[in-house]
A and B are shown apart, each in its own frame.
Chain A
Amino acid sequence: MSAVLSMPDGYYKALKRLASEVAGVALEDDYKFTIETRLSVLARMEGYPSLIEMVQSMFKSGDSRLAIKIVASMLVRDTHFFRDKQSLLGLPDFILPKLHAIYGPRPIKVLIVGCNSGQEAYSAAILADKLKQDELPDLNVEFTAIDYPSQALEQAKAGRFTHFDVQRGLAVRDMLSYFTKLGEDWVMNESIRNMITFRETHLLRLPNDLGQYHVIICRDVLSRFQAKVRIAFTRKIAAHVKSQGYLLIGSDEDLPKTVHPWIAPGGPDFVYQRAKTEEELRAEEAAARAARKLLHPDPKRFFEDKEAVMEVMAEGASGEMECRSA
Chain B
Amino acid sequence: MSRSCLIVDDSRMVRRVAGRIIRELDFDLAEAENGQEAMDQCRMKMPDAILLDWKMPVMDGLSFLKRLRKEPGGDQPVIVFCTAERDVYKIAEALDAGANEYVMKPFDSDVIQSKFFEAGLLG
Q: Could you list which residues of chain A lie within 8 angstroms of chain B, going by C-beta atoms?
A: 80, 163-164, 167-173, 176, 181, 184
What residue of chain B has the Cβ atom nearest to residue A164's Cβ? B111
Once A167-B103, A167-B115, A171-B118 are accepted as A-B contacts, the answer to whether A176 and B91 lie under 8 Å apart by CB is yes
Contacts A80-B110, A168-B114, A176-B92; A163 near B86 (Cβ below 8 A): yes
Query: Interface majority SS on A: helix, strand, loop or mixed?
Result: loop
Q: Given A169-B114, A176-B92, answer yes or no on A181-B86 (Cβ-Cβ < 8 Å).
A: yes
Q: Is the CB of B91 within 8 A of A167?
A: no
- Contacts beyond the supplied A80-B110, A164-B108, A167-B115: 16 A-B pairs with Cβ under 8 Å: A163-B104, A164-B111, A167-B103, A167-B111, A170-B114, A170-B118, A171-B101, A172-B91, A172-B101, A172-B102, A172-B118, A173-B95, A176-B88, A176-B91, A176-B92, A181-B86
Taking a contact as CB atoms under 8 Å apart, the answer to whether A168 and B91 are in contact is no
Shortest distance between the CB of A173 and any CB in chain B (Å)? 7
Residues of A within 8 A of B95 (CB): 172-173, 176
Q: Chain B residue with minimal CB distance to A173?
A: B95
| Closest A residue, CB atoms, query B80 | A172
Interface size for B (C-beta < 8 A) is 17
Contact assessment for B88 and A181 in the assembled complex, using a CB-CB cutoff below 8 Å: yes
Shortest beta-carbon distance from B48 to chain A in Å: 19
Residues of B within 8 A of A184 (CB): 86
**A167 surroundings in chain B (CB, below 8 A):** 103-104, 107, 111, 114-115
CA distance A184 to B106 in the complex (A): 12
Assess whether B114 is in contact with A80, with CB atoms less than 8 Å apart.
yes
Q: What's the least CB distance linking B21 to chain A, in Å? A: 13
Q: B47 to chain A: closest CB distance in Å?
A: 20
Report how far A184 CA is from B105 CA in the complex, Å: 12
Per the bound structure, the CA–CA distance linking A181 and B108 in Å amounts to: 21
Q: Which 10 A-B pairs have the closest CB atoms?
A: A172-B102, A171-B118, A167-B111, A163-B104, A168-B114, A172-B101, A181-B88, A169-B114, A168-B110, A176-B88
CB-nearest residue of chain B relative to A180?
B88
| Distance from A176 Cβ to chain B, minimum over Cβ atoms (Å) | 6
The interface centre, meaning the residue of B95, B107, B118 with most chain A CB atoms within 10 A of its CB, is B118
Query: Considering the complex, which residues of chain B in the window 84-120 have a beta carbon less than 8 Å from any beta carbon of chain A?
Result: 86-88, 91-92, 95, 101-104, 107-108, 110-111, 114-115, 118
What is the chain B residue whose CB lies nearest that of A184? B86
30 interchain pairs, CB-CB under 8 A: A163-B86, A163-B104, A164-B108, A164-B111, A167-B104, A167-B107, A167-B111, A167-B114, A167-B115, A168-B110, A168-B111, A168-B114, A169-B114, A170-B114, A170-B118, A171-B101, A171-B118, A172-B95, A172-B101, A172-B102, A172-B115, A172-B118, A173-B95, A176-B88, A176-B91, A176-B92, A176-B95, A181-B86, A181-B87, A181-B88
Bound Cα distance from A168 to B111, whole angstroms = 5
Q: Which residue of A lies closest to B114 (CB)?
A: A168
A69 to chain B, nearest CB (A): 27
Q: Which residues of B lie under 8 Å from residue A80 when comparing CB positions?
A: 110, 114
Chain A nearest Cβ from B87, distance in angstroms: 8
Which residue of chain A is the closest to B113 with respect to CB atoms? A168
**Smallest CB–CB gap between B25 and chain A, Å?**
15
Closest beta carbon of chain A to B117's beta carbon, Å = 8
Q: Which residues of chain A are near B101, meaning CB under 8 Å?
A: 171-172
Measured CA separation A173–B102 after assembly (Å): 9
